[in-house]
Amino acid sequence: MHVFEGFLPSPWWQLWFVFSIPVILYGMYKLNKLVSERREVVPLLAVAGAFIFVLSSLKLPSVTGSSSHPTGTGMAAILFGPAITAVLGVIVLLYQALFLAHGGITTLGANTASMAIIGPLVAYLFYRAAAKSGMNFYLNVFLATAIADWVTYVVTSAQLALAFPSAEGGILGSFTAFATVFATTQVPLAIMEGALTALIMKYVVQIKSDVLVDLDVLTTSAVTKLKEAME
Amino acid sequence: MKLEYLVAIVVILFAAQFFYGVAAHPDSEFGGADGAAEDVITEINPDYEPWFAGIGFEPPGGETESLLFALQAAFGAIVIGYTIGYYKGKGDSN
């Protein structure tokens, strides 16, 4: 559920482009480097991108009486970092804006900032910090992706609040109004996305753990421990 | 198998929250949250008109839209299934 086409007035839509474009360019540079230096990670990159495709097409009903969709960006962020995830996210956002009238071209900068940049960045930072503190891998993946999903919609609420401050409550007042819609609807979805991502990551550990070590997602000793637990 | 059980519990809880949502909002059609946000915008600023109509293709109706969403999901699922199967087959043959 992204900001609709034409629904961000000037100067907000331009500002979010200014925010997003440098990150996307940096992400393309990183992606290029990764693909040319480490051919063996390409299949996993395809999985991470495809995961965003699948999850962002599933409009799930929430207890609030509205539907919304998960983002799927947390997994890519944990595996490849936020910059590369931003590029994968933009591809999905472009597809939805051009073929589904979902999101929009003028709001692409803002939607990129929330779903493809800030959400994944939070997932990445959370995962790295929690991994250092020794948190269980699957719990870490679950929390990092669920939080990233949820933060995406908090950012969307903030973007709309900045552009549409309410007459009485100001920016904070409208933030509460938008967050009531987006952030509450998103809670069950975020939990679902976290659980699903943790499960997929378990299979990646099972069948292709060397790439995880290669990408610096897990240490060799952590992989050994996870594999022992599977038997 | 422990993680699979936990995920199954999350799926059941998700279904439960949905049925609770249906019971709590009997008139709701579970439309998109972005539509609900549009209502909030109209409430805050009744005069706001979207200033750009979009240049992309707009599905003529719900059927075509669900087709395109299904294609998006199917495409992604094929890539995930293919790659995991590829890795698994490679691992087994070693």
pTM attached to this predicted model:
0.94
Give the residue-averaged pLDDT of A55-82: 94
Question: Rounded to an integer, what is the distance from CA A101 to the centroid of its chain?
Answer: 21
Give the residue-averaged pLDDT of A184-196: 96
Say yes or no to pLDDT of A1 above 70.
no
List the domain range (segments joined by +) for residue B30: 1-52
Q: Which of residues 63-122 of A touch B (CB under 8 A)?
A: 63-68, 95-101, 104-106
Q: Note the helical H segments in B1-94.
A: 2-24, 33-44, 62-93
Do B48 and B71 reside in the same domain of the chain? no
A51 touches chain B (CB under 8 A): yes
Do B66 and B44 reside in the same domain of the chain? no
Which pLDDT band holds residue B46 (cuts at 50, 70, 90)? confident
Assess if residue A217 is contained within a domain. no
Say yes or no to pLDDT of A10 above 80.
yes
Q: ipTM more than 0.95? A: no
State pLDDT tens for residues A20-59: 999 999 999 999 999 999 998 999 999 999 999 999 999 9
Assess if residue A65 is contained within a domain. yes
State pLDDT tens for residues A204-231: 999 889 999 999 999 999 999 999 998 7
What pLDDT is recorded for position A150? Answer: 97
Task: Give chain A's domain count.
Answer: 1
Query: Under an 8 A CB cutoff, do B28 and A160 touch?
Result: no
State pLDDT tens for residues A156-175: 999 999 999 998 899 999 99
Cβ atoms A195, B6 nearer than 8 A? yes
What percent of chain A shows pLDDT beyond 70?
100
Give the residue-averaged pLDDT of A59-85: 95
Torsion angle, alpha carbons of A73, A79, A84, A87, to 10: -30
What's the full length of chain A, in residues? 231
Nearest to A160 by CA among A90, A86, A107, A100: A107
Q: Which tokens in the block code for residue B61?
A: 């109706």
Do B38 and B66 reside in the same domain of the chain? no
Do B16 and B40 reside in the same domain of the chain? yes
The CA R_g of chain A, rounded to the nearest whole Å, is: 18
Q: Which of residues 169-208 of A touch B (CB under 8 A)?
A: 174, 177-178, 181-182, 185-186, 188, 191-192, 195-196, 198-200, 202-203, 207-208
Assess if residue A229 is contained within a domain. no
Say yes or no to pLDDT of B1 above 70.
no
Assess if residue A148 is contained within a domain. yes
Nearest to A200 by CA among A141, A116, A119: A141
Do B68 and B42 reside in the same domain of the chain? no
List the domain range (segments joined by +) for residue A120: 12-211
